[in-house]
Amino acid sequence: MTNPLYDTLFGRHAGNGEVFLYLPEGGTITYAGFVEQAGQMAQALTSLDLVPGDRVAVQITKSHHALAVYAACVQAGLVFLPLNPAYTPDEVAYFVDNSGAALLVCEDATLAVLSPIARQAGTRVQTLNADGTGSLGQRAAAQTDRFATVSREEGDLAAMLYTSGTTGRSKGAMLSQRNLLSNAQVLAECWRFTDADVLLHALPIFHTHGLFVATNIALLTGGAMVLLPKLDIDRIIDWLPRSTAMMGVPTFYTRLLADARFTSDLVGHMRLFISGSAPLLAETHKQFEARTGHRILERYGMTETNMNTSNPYDGERRAGTVGFPLPRVELKVCDPHTGALCGPGEIGVIEVRGDNVFQGYWQMPEKTAAELRADGFFITGDLGFVDADGYVTIVGRNKDLIISGGYNIYPKEVELILDDQPGVLESAVIGVPHPDFGETPVAVLVADGDLDEAAVAAAVKHSLAGFKCPRAYVVVEALPRNTMGKVQKNVLRDRCKDRFA
């Protein structure tokens, strides 16, 4: 009886007295204690008549109790379905109904609004709060920690993650044990994680980055994690001297750079800073290296694939690129219309293949067939190119490509020029409807002090062909972003859609 994911990440730590989690409120949890907690949770879940393959939707605050639900689902052969706590009841209703979840775990504070949704879907409800209270917490506390691990195979589903749904309804990406385990093994090796590491963890755990990258790597290598509930600069600065590595999104690094306490002395012993989930500005790279001596390692992944590429641990980490394809991950760039292979430097759609690539979209066979080729290559929808040295650069999403008067405009090319202009903190270029050209580029800018729009427009006109130049400039206080820091260009397009009507 084996369960590869559980045996490798969790089961082997039974009896291990080393620290797994440093808690923000003080105190620690050992690996042995966490495995016991997970066993109790697995007993609690199966006492609710859940059987292997059932989906467990979880919308709760980040805590060690939430991590125990993940481990318990793996041990009991259940499919873990984490949901962003910021999702509205209407959004949760879609996820619960679409997934056919057998159980919804929420907090006492949201029980009243989510109970009718669960009842409508024929789904049971239990509560679990960040402090371990709630009906599921009480049920788990009453159980023994001896749970007979359910036998599973590498191809069995371990988790489902719903995509962000910027173009239509969110899709449930089905992730197998092999998907999660293989990616953790590759990343741990590439990034040199060991049991001596202390990973500063301030990411959410409803997302690939915080759960299947950060947490799984720590579990795989036996290192410790500092489990912060969210991005809190004061707490991060307090814990940095006691950590060896940190994974974050660009916002983490820009906010640290804005704090005078963040110095080279503070992070002198740190081994690694990793960034992902959204592009990191080249200026942030430069400022971070100048301040600390560290060069941030940027990588590229997706909900459907976990991680695909990474800048090297040893060797040049090039700002603006996401490095090389990971070991055992194949990557190619193809013409979006013909599927023909692109040459070095030619922009096309990135496709990837490997054990990291998901099993398809839940109950969407046509969508799966459209994006997951028969030969195993997944069409990511990301536009990019591979340079002569093999570095991969992402220039945007295929859906963000602007076709104006028959000419292709890649927003990233324009954004790089804009971001270099005085007074521009950051930018986003979008395509909006135009009566003559079909669509045309509009630049949305966040100002950094005084901003001379005419000077910015002149600089762009000097650097780029006329058809690539934005026909309008819009200044905003901040770009809309999702919880992982990605700019929501769909929101900007909606706001500006009538600009030339």
pLDDT, one tens digit per residue, over 223-268 is: 999 999 999 999 999 999 999 999 998 889 989 999 999 999 999 9
Confidence of residue 167 (pLDDT cuts 50, 70, 90): very low
Q: How far apart are CA 417 and CA 473, in angstroms?
A: 14
Q: What is the pLDDT of residue 164?
A: 63
Average pLDDT, the chain: 93
CATH of segment(s) 231-355+370-397 = 3.40.50.12780
Supply the Cα-derived Rg of the chain in whole angstroms.
Answer: 23
The single residue listed with the structure tokens 């795989």 is 220
| Type of residue numbered 376 | G
Q: How is domain 401-496 classified at the architecture level of CATH?
A: 2-Layer Sandwich (3.30)
Q: How far apart are CA 218 and CA 191, in angstroms?
A: 12
Going by C-alpha positions, the residue among 335, 382, 326 that lies closest to residue 356 is: 326
The single residue listed with the structure tokens 């197998």 is 176
> Would you tell me which CATH number, out of the four given (3.20.20.100, 3.40.50.12780, 1.10.357.10, 3.40.50.10490), belongs to the domain 4-15+30-183?
3.40.50.12780
Per-residue model confidence as pLDDT tens digits over 385-408: 999 999 999 988 777 878 787 677
Q: Is pLDDT above 90 for 455?
A: yes
Instruction: Please give the average per-residue pLDDT across 430-451, as a whole number.
Output: 87
Task: Give how far the C-alpha of residue 53 lies from the chain's centroid of Cα atoms, to the nearest Å.
Answer: 24
- 3-state secondary structure (DSSP) of residue 243: coil
Q: How far apart are CA 441 and CA 108, in angstroms?
A: 47
The single residue listed with the structure tokens 């030969």 is 375
- 3-state secondary structure (DSSP) of residue 67: helix
CA atoms within a 13 Å half-sphere pointing along the CA-CB vector of 276: 25
Confidence of residue 166 (pLDDT cuts 50, 70, 90): very low
Task: Give how far the C-alpha of residue 378 lies from the chain's centroid of Cα atoms, to the nearest Å.
Answer: 18
Burial 307-320 (b: 16+ CB within 10 A, else e): bbbbbeeeeebbbb
Q: How far apart are CA 429 and CA 54, in angstroms?
A: 42
Q: How far apart are CA 350 and CA 345, in angstroms?
A: 13
Going by C-alpha positions, the residue among 24, 41, 67 that lies closest to residue 218 is: 67
Q: What is the pTM of this model?
A: 0.85
Give whole-number Cα distances, 286 to 114, 132, 279, 391, in Å. 46, 43, 14, 19
Instruction: Please give the average per-residue pLDDT across 12-24, as a whole number.
Output: 96
- Are the CB atoms for 283 and 258 separated by under 8 Å? no
Instruction: Please give the average per-residue pLDDT across 283-288, as a whole number.
Output: 90
Phi, psi of 241 (to 5 degrees): -65, -15
Tokens of 370: 């459209």
Q: Is pLDDT above 60 for 301?
A: yes
Q: What is the pLDDT of residue 464?
A: 81
Q: CA triplet 25, 31, 32: central angle to 5 degrees?
A: 115
Going by C-alpha positions, the residue among 151, 104, 94 that lies closest to residue 125 is: 104
- Are the CB atoms for 205 and 82 separated by under 8 Å? yes
Q: How far apart are CA 341 and CA 333, in angstroms?
A: 6
- 3-state secondary structure (DSSP) of residue 282: helix
List, in order, residues 6 or more apart from 495 with CB less than 8 Å away: none
- 3-state secondary structure (DSSP) of residue 255: helix
Q: How far apart are CA 48 and CA 56, in angstroms?
A: 11
Q: How far apart are CA 419 and CA 313, in angstroms?
A: 27
Q: Any idea where the domains of the chain sit in the sequence? A: 4-15+30-183, 231-355+370-397, 401-496
- Are the CB atoms for 284 and 253 separated by under 8 Å? yes
- Are the CB atoms for 276 and 249 separated by under 8 Å? yes
| Type of residue numbered 357 | V
List, in order, residues 6 or more apart from 465 with CB less than 8 Å away: none
Beta bridge mates, 302: 306
Higher-confidence position of 86 and 197? 197
Q: How far apart are CA 209 and CA 84, in angstroms?
A: 13
Per-residue model confidence as pLDDT tens digits over 210-223: 999 999 999 999 99
Q: How far apart are CA 33 and CA 20, in angstroms?
A: 9
The secondary element (H helix, E strand) that includes residue 172 is strand 172-176
Tokens of 252: 């983490």
Can 4-15+30-183 and 231-355+370-397 be said to share one CATH topology?
Answer: yes
CA atoms within a 13 Å half-sphere pointing along the CA-CB vector of 119: 6
Phi, psi of 109 (to 5 degrees): -65, -25
